[in-house]
Amino acid sequence: MAAVTSRPQDVVGMHFFSPANIMKLLEIVRGDETADDVLATVMKLSKKIRKVPVLSRVCYGFIGNRMLGGYMREAQMLLLQGATPAQIDGALESFGMAMGPLAVADLAGLDVGYKARQAIPDLPDHPSNHVVDQLVESGRLGQKSGAGFYRYDPATRQRLEDPEVEPVIRAEAAALGIEPQSFSDAEIVERVIFPLINEGARVLDEGIAQRPGDIDIVYIYGYGFPAHRGGPMFYGTTVGLDHVYRRICDFRDSLRAEDWQPAPLLKRLAEAGASW
């Protein structure tokens, strides 16, 4: 948009989170030529409408949705490797997330990501998408259709485990040659949360986010990350960036290496014994 207007300094993005009347987070997206007075005006407007603004540079997904990719990928890889939807969501909710990743996917609509992937030309196939694609193509779109990873009581919308989902998961796992195994809640948390920290390090290194605290605000106010853990970047410092880095290297060596490349910033800080 900025490239085709005579006033690129006046172009700015405001990325609201759904449902916009409830969610507090507002990503303010700064273009290459966005003027400071425009940013100041939008920040003031954000506070007037009772939002919590965070400044982001331009990239696919901005801060929050860009980081979410690995989080959702690993939740769905864990399904193929033997964990159930209830176990994955239960582990993350016990950690403190407002909702587990698969319950969130059902709430948002499984067809949203399905259609988004279809709109990206030459998108490489990834096994993490196989189960959700099967669910969508069988008409299980999430809460709005009464069934997704779970089924939903039509009166209360309470989520219930659905025995029809497990055969779909196991058939896809068998087709991919994946043998089921068991996971502890702690393993599930590391598999799903550590990609957030790793991608957050890239977001910082590229200047998409100004500081780690901004990323933490995005996740607390936009994604239900437990406030008492301080956000993903702060949480990384509490468990130790060296530990996060080592575990990512372990996953790189034991899982899909292309999914688990350590962010250069995380590697540098871990090796130096430093923090953000």
Catalytic residues: 15
Select from 36, 37, 27, 25 the least CA-distant residue to 59: 27
Q: Alpha-carbon distance 150 to 67, whole Å?
A: 25
Where do we find the tokens 């025995």?
163
Select from 96, 48, 50, 33 the least CA-distant residue to 234: 96
Judging by beta carbons within 10 Å of its beta carbon (0-12, 13-18, 19+), is residue 111 exposed, middle or buried?
buried
Q: Alpha-carbon distance 54 to 56, whole Å?
A: 6
Q: Which residues touch 18 (CB under 8 Å, ≥6 apart)?
A: 108
3-state secondary structure of 114: helix
* Tokens read off for 140: 């299980």
3-state secondary structure of 48: helix
CA dihedral sign of residues 268, 269, 270, 273 = positive
* Tokens read off for 93: 């909710």
